[in-house]
Structure 1
């Protein structure tokens, strides 16, 4: 497992981040098997959010054993200060820990939402207070959608977030506007030495059909790549960008071992692009977003 420096936090974290969304629809035994596999494979960054089913509770069972050897991050769902303060303490209780290494303002993908969380009485105030009290180590921001990179660039201009979690994969790279916004974000993140993490690495397209969510094979809201050759290429392509400190693994436990295998068997960016150029039905997952 490769480890990269998490920006100015200085922590060396695994390039694969265990995403708690993978645990949203599993029982405790299945959750434990998946967490154990990640730990055995060298994953030391575990991320989650309050709305990922029972993921925080699943993590909480492991905390007495692993808390001192992992980097633990979760997210704030509320947009206002008081709601965010409740979110933070509820997460601490579910995770069975006294301190979260990174708290993130969650799913901030447009300027209107950014105004809410960073404005007077917004969620950011609670995150800052939690950091001042020592129950949170760092503050980050996450988001989905075509507007996420531009929104996160503006976020870094308003507040020195230590981390950013934003979408990036090969098909998004081919979209001129998205690529320009992402490259501008990379430049600012480098200037501030903020850690840049990404999501949607193995997203293939939206689920297809009139009622796509009823027939989906995975717990992800988008259809992922699941053939190992495509997963290998998608993971290799994103990790070939040295500015990326880590990628969140996809939100289904069945995809976790495929991404772990892909990290081990890396290919060059050129070879990865060749595979992805020939991947069938490959398109942005943001053509149609779930409500």
Structure 2
């Protein structure tokens, strides 16, 4: 598995992150199979969240044996200092660990949520305190939606986050405003040497009304290997991106790993041809921008 350095953290990460949302509603046996597959294929960056159902609980039994060999990240969606502190402690208990490599402010995709997190008594204070106590090594921020790049640019102006996790795929980057905001954000992230990790790389768009939902993802994902190859190629070819999170479905994970293991075998023009030829390709987020 290809590895890249996570900015100023100077940690060599697998370019595929185990997005643990896929463990939120599966059995321990199914979780064990997926985690084992990840480890056996060189994926050692595990990213979960307190809000991912039972994901932290499913990962817990593995920690005594694998903790020293993985990068472990979780997230809090709380907005106050006190509630965020409580949730971090609960995550440590559920994961059965004493410390985390990364704690992230979760789902901060607009200025309103950023203001809540960064105000006096906001969640960011809990994350900083946890780092000072040695409970966490690094602090990050994540966000969904079309406003994430602009919001995260402002976030980096307010606090030097070590990592940022935000959406990127071929369709989103084709939206003029999204591209402009994303490029400005990447410029600042590069100046600060913050590690940029991306989500929604293989998102096709929203589920259609009445459409059978064959995957546990909240958006419709691509599932054809050649299209996944092109999506992964686009994301990993993007300057400054250190890793992408696997989709939130255990059945898609092997296809994403397969695509990453063959990264470099596809030409840019072939990836563009595949992605440009897709019909019904759209933003996974309901609101649209021009």
What TM-score do the two structures reach when normalised by structure 2?
0.97
Whether the 8 Å contact between 2:51 and 2:76 is mirrored in structure 1 is no
Q: Distance in 2 between matches of 1:87 and 1:272?
A: 41
Whether the 8 Å contact between 1:237 and 1:268 is mirrored in structure 2 is no
Q: Distance in 2 between matches of 1:251 and 1:73?
A: 16
**Corresponding residue number in structure 2 for 1:252:** 249
Q: Distance in 2 between matches of 1:58 and 1:142?
A: 22
**Corresponding residue number in structure 1 for 2:128:** 128
Q: Distance in 2 between matches of 1:263 and 1:197?
A: 15
Q: Distance in 2 between matches of 1:275 and 1:218?
A: 22
Alignment of 1:217-232 (within 5 A): 217-232=214-229
**Corresponding residue number in structure 1 for 2:115:** 115
Structure 1 consecutive aligned stretches of length 4 or more whose deviation exceeds 2 Å: none
Q: Distance in 1 between matches of 2:151 and 2:268?
A: 27
Alignment of 1:98-247 (within 5 A): 98-209=98-209, 211=210, 215-247=212-244
Give per-residue Cα distances to partners, 1:116-146, cap 9 Å, x unaligned: 0011000000000000000011000000000
Whether the 8 Å contact between 2:19 and 2:246 is mirrored in structure 1 is yes
Whether the 8 Å contact between 1:60 and 1:95 is mirrored in structure 2 is yes
2:261 aligns with one of 247, 251, 264: 264
Give per-residue Cα distances to partners, 1:218-239, cap 9 Å, x unaligned: 1111000001111111001110
Q: Distance in 2 between matches of 1:187 and 1:101?
A: 25
Shift of 1:288: 4.9
Q: Distance in 2 between matches of 1:248 and 1:273?
A: 21
Q: What is the alpha-carbon root mean square deviation over aligned residues? A: 1.0
Shift of 1:217: 1.1
* CA distance 1:203–1:255, shift in 2 (3 Å): same
- Structure 2, gaps ≥5 residues long: none
Shift of 1:280: 2.2
Q: Distance in 1 between matches of 2:268 and 2:173?
A: 13
Shift of 1:242: 3.1
- Structure 1, gaps ≥5 residues long: none
Give per-residue Cα distances to partners, 1:43-78, cap 9 Å, x unaligned: 110000011111101111100010000000000111
Corresponding pairs, count? 286
Alignment of 1:11-160 (within 5 A): 11-160=11-160
Whether the 8 Å contact between 1:206 and 1:288 is mirrored in structure 2 is no
